[in-house]
Amino acid sequence: MHIDWQPLQEIISAHQRFVITSHVRPDADAIGSEIGLASLLEALGKEVRIINPSATPDHLRFLDPDSKVAKFGPGVSLESACDTDVHIVVDTSAWIQVGDVRKVLEKTSAKKVIIDHHLASDDLGAIEFKDTTAAAAGVLVTEFAEFLDHPPSGHQADALFAAIATDTGWYRFPNADARTYRTAARLIDYGVQPTGLFRELYERSSLARLKLHSIILDRVQVEFDGRLAFTFAMRKDFSDTGSKPADTEDIVNTCLTIEGVEAAFILVQQLDGRIKGSLRSRSEEISVAAIAENFGGGGHKLAAGALLPGPMEEAKASLLSQFQKIFPPQESPSESPTTS
């Protein structure tokens, strides 16, 4: 499902000013792809701003050393965000994922473009460049840069490698196919040093983060004959440990390491009382995206998310009821029908 990039090349050639946006609570694929795309556009002589609905998490600020990413809100008005020729949305094509930047996308007269690899999709009134077989948005941005004969270099290449590496769990998730590895290899040829990036991404943990993980992992439970694992984090956990919500990242994948577990989720209480759910699956036969869509969320079959109403116990019960449809009770040998 490779993309025909020619129409996007023509859009870029015909315009000068660009705004790039990604999803709420941006991850490394969002930030890295934005930085990679912004660097490409600047190399082509374009004016570029990155405006996101959420601030960049502290542990990902190394991807944006020049502080190019701005948060929509105070200091970035609606009028200012609309003042562009082209607005490009990266790593999502769902209204719920663009947060308050939806106001910009609904009001702007700019041409709108989407570069995305997710299954979930809404009509944002944009021209879509979408490939759901790509492991990460970073793969698509890298391929587009190469199509334009402007292969990534320097920090741009680092940002794109980080985008791909994190969305594949450092290449251990099933979405890390041959195309993914080839893309990563080319980025290494362009100068990326994976060891340094791994250290930045995974070896800069704080004591507060470790204490938070201890609390959350102590709550892990399994259901449905050990096929589902789940846990949760309350707002109080962050204040008690001095940690941040972003410090919960990757805990859901730790739940998947339990032997026999086929799917997992973590629920994190938000400031407004809603509950953020992050869902993971080991098997294409268990689509957590389909479960997330029941709550207005989405994502991939193996990794998805949604925002649920609180309180925590009700959110947990709602998700468990959805997983019960996938994991019906298994008959014990004594319950199996016999023949005479």
What residues form DSSP beta bridges with 231? Answer: 266
- Give Cβ neighbours of residue 6 (< 8 Å, ≥ 6 apart): none
**CA torsion, points 78, 39, 29, 178, in degrees to nearest 10?**
150
Domains and CATH numbers, the chain: 6-201 (3.90.1640.10), 207-326 (3.10.310.30)
Query: What pLDDT does 121 receive?
Result: 82
Residue whose token pair is 């890295």: 32
H or E stretch covering 318: helix 312-326
Residue 262, sorted as left (phi over 0), alpha (psi -120 to 50) or beta, turns out to be alpha
pLDDT band at 338 (very low <50, low <70, confident <90, very high): very low
Predicted confidence (pLDDT) per residue in 278-309, tens digit: 999 998 889 999 999 999 888 888 999 999 99
Read off the DSSP letter of residue 123. -
Question: Is residue 79 within 8 Å of 51, Cβ to Cβ?
Answer: no
- Give Cβ neighbours of residue 262 (< 8 Å, ≥ 6 apart): 227, 228, 281, 282, 283, 286, 327
* pTM for the model: 0.85
Dihedral pair phi/psi, residue 207, rounded to 5°: -60, -40
pLDDT at residue 337 is higher than 60: no
- Give Cβ neighbours of residue 223 (< 8 Å, ≥ 6 apart): 230, 320, 323, 327
Predicted confidence (pLDDT) per residue in 175-230, tens digit: 999 999 999 999 999 999 999 999 999 998 899 999 999 999 999 999 999 999 99
